[in-house]
């Protein structure tokens, strides 16, 4: 799915596979997802693939965006995860007509030429319908790689 940022920036985000596709036990390791990113930003252009989110964390992003699409205050304005490669941050009021969300890239999700003195991010401005489209795209990605639960 492609997220459209301000100033014609884009982020393509898709799940390419589980990190350990052979691990069907439903444990923590079996639920890591390889996240492909293709970023075209004012800071630069790059692509990465890294196991930076779990199935549960991807669902948390969807739920967080759903709250915003209904103009509700999320529990956290900054969504961070086990691996600190990606963060989602609400930069304005959740009741504003358009939500300003910063998608920040760190560690393995930055370009190979990244330096620690620079922030790498894309700001996304979306109204409620735009958020629902993002949610739908993320749900479609996650449906292909559902949470693996322990077997009895």
The predicted-structure confidence for 53-106, as pLDDT tens digits, reads as follows 999 999 999 999 999 999 999 999 999 999 999 999 999 999 999 999 999 999
Phi, psi of 131 (to 5 degrees): -65, -40
Asked whether residue 119 carries a pLDDT value surpassing 90, the answer given is yes
Alpha helices in the chain (DSSP H): 55-69, 128-143
Phi, psi of 151 (to 5 degrees): -90, 150
Tokens of 148: 């693996």
Tokens of 117: 């003195």
Asked whether residue 139 carries a pLDDT value surpassing 80, the answer given is yes
**Segment 4-59, tens digit of pLDDT:** 999 999 999 999 999 999 998 888 899 999 999 999 999 999 999 999 999 999 99
For residue 101, which of 86, 114, 111 has the smallest C-alpha distance? 86
CA–CA distances in Å: residue 44 to residues 28, 34, 35, 63, 132: 34, 22, 19, 29, 28
According to the model, what pLDDT value does residue 4 have? 95
Which domains does the chain possess? 2-143 (2.30.31)
Check if the beta carbon of residue 109 is closer than 8 Å to that of residue 119: no
According to the model, what pLDDT value does residue 151 have? 74
Q: Tokens 């930003």 — which residue?
A: 41
The pTM score is 0.94
According to the model, what pLDDT value does residue 152 have? 61
According to the model, what pLDDT value does residue 24 have? 85
According to the model, what pLDDT value does residue 26 have? 82
Sheet holding 45-54, edge to edge: 2-4, 10-18, 32-40, 45-54
Residue 150: which pLDDT band, with cuts at 50, 70 and 90? confident
Asked whether residue 120 carries a pLDDT value surpassing 70, the answer given is yes
């Amino acid at each position: 799915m492609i997220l459209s940022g301000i100033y014609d920036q884009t982020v393509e985000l898709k799940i390419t596979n589980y990190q350990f596709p052979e691990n069907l036990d439903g444990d923590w390791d079996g639920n890591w997802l390889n996240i492909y990113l293709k970023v075209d930003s004012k800071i630069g252009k790059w692509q990465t693939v890294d196991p930076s989110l779990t199935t549960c964390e991807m669902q948390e992003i969807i739920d967080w965006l759903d709250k915003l699409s209904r103009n509700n205050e999320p529990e956290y304005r900054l969504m961070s995860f086990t691996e600190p490669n990606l963060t989602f941050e609400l930069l304005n009021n959740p009741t504003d007509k358009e939500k300003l969300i910063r998608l920040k890239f760190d560690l393995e999700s930055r370009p190979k030429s990244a330096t620690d003195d620079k922030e790498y991010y894309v700001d996304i401005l979306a109204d409620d319908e735009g958020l629902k489209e993002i949610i739908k795209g993320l749900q479609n990605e996650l449906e292909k790689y559902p949470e693996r639960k322990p077997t009895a």
